[in-house]
Chains A and B, each alone.
Chain A
């Protein structure tokens, strides 16, 4: 069965750090692009970052320089290291399989709350 399961969310103070993980089963991440997409409470979807099969990474301007996406092929997991967190980073973070033109598989998401 294909599954993407995010973890690592929680409450963090502004300026703090958090590391999200996405455990994938049912397909190999080393053969696929993987993205993170977030959704602030009551708001729409916002693409955050992608990691390509060759390891190249790209980020939305809103997180560039603060977030780092990485891939761990042996564990079949994708991570998102989030530093210098701001209140506006508060959102549910989804891991998604990225087909370079669309996102065909999504996890259930993990909630990140940035607040003092």
Chain B
């Protein structure tokens, strides 16, 4: 499996919304709903933010939402806050797990 494709970086101002895309193929993202998203602050472990395309674990703010269309999944963060600045990784789990290359979110 090849890595999923994410933009290297995105940015937004506090209060704005940003969307991070994650493009796979018809063999992973396009056919399975097992897409998840992870937030990682520098030097810290990844944290699950979204699973099964659009479900939020307990404790994750509803500012974080996920969706999927065709071979592309998306993570949208609305009402940006300073603490959202981090790296974000998508993952498609279909037998084995494949991650995206990661997107650095900068809050301006």
A interface residues with partner B (beta carbon < 8 Å): 35, 37, 44-47, 50, 58, 60, 94, 99-104, 106-109
Contacts and interface: CB of A to CB of B under 8 A. Distances in A.
B86 interface: no
Contacts of B46: 37, 45, 94, 103, 106
Contacts of B98: 47
B24 to A, nearest CB: 14
Contacts of A109: 45
B51 A104 contact: yes
B53 to A, nearest CB: 10
B3 interface: yes
Nearest to A105: B48
Interface string B89-106: 101010111111110000
Contact of B36 (A46, A60, A102, A106): A102
Contacts of B52: 101-102
Contacts of A47: 96-99
